[in-house]
């Protein structure tokens, strides 16, 4: 590190210890560049995913599904939270040591604030410190949005997802404001731990982007598990009472209320940019607060990039990782890789069983003018998928949208055990233009979930031929 006149100088300055930023930091450090990575919290080394996102929530899915009927709800949950926190602590330490242990990389803890387009000041345990960077990466991620509902902000029982998974007391009654991916995942997790769960969704339905048959299958599974889904619910007020909180909402013109021991806010996330003083750096932001970037992830200042949730793009760890590839291609490659290269990006809703999707829905494909054929089967009827019976999870369905003229897969929705893995095979097939027939006729190991494709892709339920 070049330290002179109390200024730390770096070839690459990374603000935020997220997936994309740390990947670029490690690579540039390995190439001999001096790198400084600033993270505002020692609890967030490695970013959202290993600390408060993907890893702990999916670990809780695993623990919740292991609970036996005879296990004490509170004891099982408390032990699960402890084991998950131990896991995240291990990952956090590994992320810190992996970067800070490099000769050319230094991790600084504190809040970064731009002074100009090349300079930030950092205040915190390792500050005050002034840092300059020839290249700067903004990788500060996103944070939960708490709606402006009377009584919600001040409620002692209101929690973000981060606060909820760190609380070792299992709520007997959990109210969830928001029926998107986060809300539904937590509904599934906490119902399986034994909480009484109510989801309050303002929209007319959940999963409105999905086809009706897929959404209906998801709702049936959640309802069967005991999750109460309330749609068209506009939350009006939260009232704290001595032993509980009341959530007042309006549905179809009628005021209603539910009591809860914990209220999870799952109403979306916003980019973390408010305290960066981006105006001083000449960096443009969108009306929603995200750093505006081009297809190469450059901001309005060509030497400043934005990776991950903070650039307003899809909020997925694997997108942040791909962001790092685009930025590295700009810094060390031919500069041709861009966000426009992305195709067939899958998504997974980690309920039990998970819903994984990729590409177009049937509705979207028809709206786009495709003549389609639809193949679909309930998991319980897929003869070539004995694994579903082996693991005792036969609920769900598999659906493919196929171009009737070319046999190309336009999209898929897999609601089944192992769907989060299966969807990657489908996405790869779509990117490389492997036909539905080829995927159907391929040889898969047995017993596996993948071999379900042998059956499902031959089961045409609708066709525009």
CA distance 136 to 324: 13
Angle at 344 between CA 453 and CA 142, to 5 degrees: 120
The token pair that represents 293 in the structure block: 């970037």
**Which residue stretches of 17-129 are H helix?**
19-30, 48-52, 54-66, 73-100
CA distances from 64 to 60, 318, 438 (A): 6, 25, 38
Is residue 465 among the annotated active site residues? Answer: no
CA distance 414 to 355: 6
Q: What are phi and psi of 140, to 5 degrees?
A: -85, -5
Query: Three-class SS of residue 174?
Result: strand
The token pair that represents 136 in the structure block: 């700067």
CA distance 179 to 310: 23
CA distances from 391 to 64, 422, 447 (A): 15, 16, 11
What is the Cα Rg of the chain in Å? 24
CA distance 72 to 94: 33
The token pair that represents 64 in the structure block: 């919740």
Calculate the CA dihedral of residues 378, 381, 387, 391 and round it to 10 degrees.
70
Beta-bridge mates of residue 413? 357, 399
The number of residues in the chain equals 465
Catalytic one of 62, 153, 303, 446: 446
CA distance 15 to 37: 6
Q: Which residues are catalytic?
A: 446
């Amino acid at each position: 590190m070049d330290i002179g006149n109390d200024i730390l100088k770096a070839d690459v300055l990374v603000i935020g210890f997220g997936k994309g930023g740390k990947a670029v930091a490690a690579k540039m450090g390995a190439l001999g560049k001096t790198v400084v990575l600033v993270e505002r919290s020692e609890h967030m080394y490695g970013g959202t995913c290993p600390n408060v996102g993907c890893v702990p929530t999916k670990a809780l899915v695993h623990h919740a599904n292991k609970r036996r009927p005879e296990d004490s709800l509170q004891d099982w949950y408390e032990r699960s939270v402890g084991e998950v926190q131990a896991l995240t602590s291990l990952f956090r330490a590994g992320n810190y040591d992996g970067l800070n242990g490099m000769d050319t990389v230094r991790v600084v803890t504190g809040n970064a604030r731009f002074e100009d387009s090349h300079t930030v000041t950092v205040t915190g345990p390792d500050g005050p410190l002034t840092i300059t960077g020839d290249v700067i990466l903004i990788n500060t991620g996103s944070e939960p949005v708490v709606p402006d509902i009377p009584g919600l902000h001040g409620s002692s029982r209101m929690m973000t997802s981060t606060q909820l998974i760190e609380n070792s007391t299992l709520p007997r009654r959990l109210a969830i404001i928001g029926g998107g991916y986060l809300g539904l995942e937590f509904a599934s997790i906490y119902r399986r731990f034994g909480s009484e769960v109510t989801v309050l969704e303002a929209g007319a339905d959940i999963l409105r982007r999905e086809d009706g048959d897929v959404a209906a299958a998801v709702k049936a599974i959640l309802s069967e598990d005991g999750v109460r889904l309330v749609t068209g619910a506009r939350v009006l007020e939260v009232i704290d009472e001595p032993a509980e909180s009341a959530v007042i909402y309006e549905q179809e013109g009628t005021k209603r209320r539910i009591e809860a021991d914990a209220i999870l806010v799952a109403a979306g996330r916003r980019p973390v940019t408010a305290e960066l003083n981006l105006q001083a750096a000449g960096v443009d932001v969108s009306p929603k607060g995200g750093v505006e970037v081009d297809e190469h992830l450059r901001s309005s200042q060509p030497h400043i990039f934005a990776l991950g949730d903070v650039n307003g793009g899809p909020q997925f760890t694997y997108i942040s990782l791909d962001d790092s590839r685009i930025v590295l291609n700009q810094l060390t490659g031919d500069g041709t890789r861009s966000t426009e290269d992305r195709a067939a990006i899958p998504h997974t809703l980690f309920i039990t069983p998970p819903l994984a999707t990729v590409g177009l829905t049937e509705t979207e494909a028809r709206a786009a003018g495709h003549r389609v054929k639809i193949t679909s089967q309930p998991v319980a009827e897929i003869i070539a998928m004995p694994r579903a019976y082996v693991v005792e999870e036969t609920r769900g369905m598999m659906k493919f949208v196929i171009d009737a003229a070319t046999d190309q897969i336009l999209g898929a929705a897999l609601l089944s055990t192992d769907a989060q893995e299966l969807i990657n095979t489908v996405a790869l097939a779509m990117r490389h233009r492997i036909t539905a027939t080829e995927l159907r006729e391929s040889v898969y190991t047995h017993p596996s979930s993948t071999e379900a494709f042998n059956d499902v892709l031959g089961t045409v339920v609708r066709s525009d031929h």
